[in-house]
Amino acid sequence: MDDVLILVKQEKIRDELHVQHDQEIERQIFCKVRSVTRAEFFSGGQNGLHPAFVFEVFPGDYQSEPELIFHGMRYVIYRDFLKNADTLELYAEQKGGVQ
């Protein structure tokens, strides 16, 4: 693992007046980055996706977060795949209008 990404999820919290709010929770983990394959890119495009990267992470580090931040850009995780006992692949796309 030679790079770092930030996993992002929304959590509901209550303030001192018991009003419920969404709070963004971020966790930093190590990863290895690859480009998506040509087949993944074209099959994703046929399904309305815009595949950008595949992030390899340790399976224990991922807790079903729906988004991640990589080098300042926000991506949506649209698929995960357990490659082996030590590697989980996170397939991510950059949504239009999301920074």
**Separation between Cα atoms, residue 37 and residue 10, nearest integer Å:** 30
Sign of CA dihedral 25, 98, 1, 36: positive
pLDDT of the chain, 99 residues: tens digit per residue: 799 999 999 999 888 888 899 999 999 999 999 999 888 887 888 888 889 999 999 999 999 999 999 999 999 999 999 999 999 999 999 876 655
DSSP state of 64: -
Which pTM was predicted? 0.85
Q: In the chain, at which residue ranges do the beta strands (DSSP E only) sit?
A: 3-14, 20-35, 51-57, 67-70, 73-84, 87-93
**Separation between Cα atoms, residue 86 and residue 19, nearest integer Å:** 41
